[in-house]
């Protein structure tokens, strides 16, 4: 199976970090991986996005034009990328921030109020991990255990104290 994933949201919502965790997790499950962030003015609001590819074969291009898996954490990202999702693909989106703007019936769409849940359950700033846990539950694209391993790799040594809370948020999303 090949996953062409797009993580998208405002700069600061942690889409780049969620992408990095996913990439590490893919790598640790023995797959080939690549990660390509958007850069430049997009980082400062609007649609900061990050393309991750996970494949059993060697990855040719790191660019994702038509994702089969999308995590959208703000309205502009949903509006821009939902229509690009491959038929049969899956969208995870934060419905505490996003109104679904498409009418597609050929994709699976799973809402989760990640930002609201994060605020109400002591996970402020970790809506990204809640959404990632939910994505793992809904698609099975990576196991929860392997994502925990990827998370441990992605958290820098200087921020090791934050690992526990990230794992809790991930599990919360998985069990939602």
Partner 1 sequence: MNKVLMKGNEAIAEAAIRAGCLHFFGYPITPQTEVAAYFSKKLPKLGGTFLQAESEVAAINMVLGAASAGVRAMTSSSSPGVSLKTEGISYIIGSDLPCLIINVQRGGPGLGGIQPSQSDYWQATKAPGHGDGHLLVYAPDRVQEIIEYIFTAFDKAEQYRMPAMLLLDGTLGQMMEPVSFDDIPVPVKHEKPWATNGHKNAREHNIINSLYLKPEELEIKNFERFERYAKVCENEQRYEEYMTDDAEIIIVAIGIAARVSKSAIDDARAAGIKVGLLRPITVFPFPTKAFDRIKNDPKVKNILTVELNMGQMTDDVKLALECKKPVELLRHTGGIVPTPKEVFAKLCEINGGIRK
Q: Using the rule CB under 8 A, is 40 a contact of partner 1?
A: yes
Closest C-alpha among 42, 64, 44, 43 to residue 53: 64
Of 55-63, 83-91, 133-141, 165-173, the segment contacting partner 1 by CB under 8 A is: 55-63
Which of 45, 62, 140, 164 forms a contact with partner 1 (CB under 8 A)? 62
Which of 23, 48, 74, 75 forms a contact with partner 1 (CB under 8 A)? 23
Closest C-alpha among 4, 5, 144 to residue 71: 5
b/e string for 160-170 if b means 16 or more Cβ within 10 A?
eeeeeebbbbb
174 HSE (CA, 13 A, CB side): 16
Which of 2, 44, 63, 124 forms a contact with partner 1 (CB under 8 A)? 63
Q: Using the rule CB under 8 A, is 20 a contact of partner 1?
A: yes
CB of 47 to partner 1, least distance (A): 15
d(CA 166, CA 87): 32
Of 30-38, 74-82, 93-101, 109-117, the segment contacting partner 1 by CB under 8 A is: 30-38
d(CA 89, CA 81): 12
Q: Using the rule CB under 8 A, is 46 a contact of partner 1?
A: no
- Interface contacts to partner 1, rule CB under 8 A: 20, 23-24, 27, 33-37, 39-40, 60-63, 65
């Amino acid at each position: 199976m090949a996953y062409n994933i797009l993580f998208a949201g405002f700069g600061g919502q942690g889409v780049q970090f969620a992408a990095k965790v996913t990439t590490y997790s893919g790598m640790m499950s023995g797959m080939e991986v690549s990660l390509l962030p958007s850069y430049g003015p997009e980082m400062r609001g609007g649609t900061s996005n990050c393309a991750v590819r996970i494949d059993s074969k060697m990855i040719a291009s790191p660019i994702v034009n038509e994702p089969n898996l999308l995590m959208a954490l703000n309205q502009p990202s949903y509006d821009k990328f939902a229509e690009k999702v491959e038929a049969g693909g899956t969208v995870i989106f934060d419905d505490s921030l996003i109104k679904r703007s498409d009418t597609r019936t050929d994709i699976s769409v799973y809402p989760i109020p990640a930002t609201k849940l994060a605020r109400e359950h002591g996970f402020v700033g970790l809506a990204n991990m809640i959404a990632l846990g939910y994505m793992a539950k809904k698609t099975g694209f990576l196991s929860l255990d392997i994502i925990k391993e990827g998370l441990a790799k992605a958290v820098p040594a200087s921020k090791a104290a934050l690992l526990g809370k990230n794992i809790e948020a991930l599990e919360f999303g998985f069990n939602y």
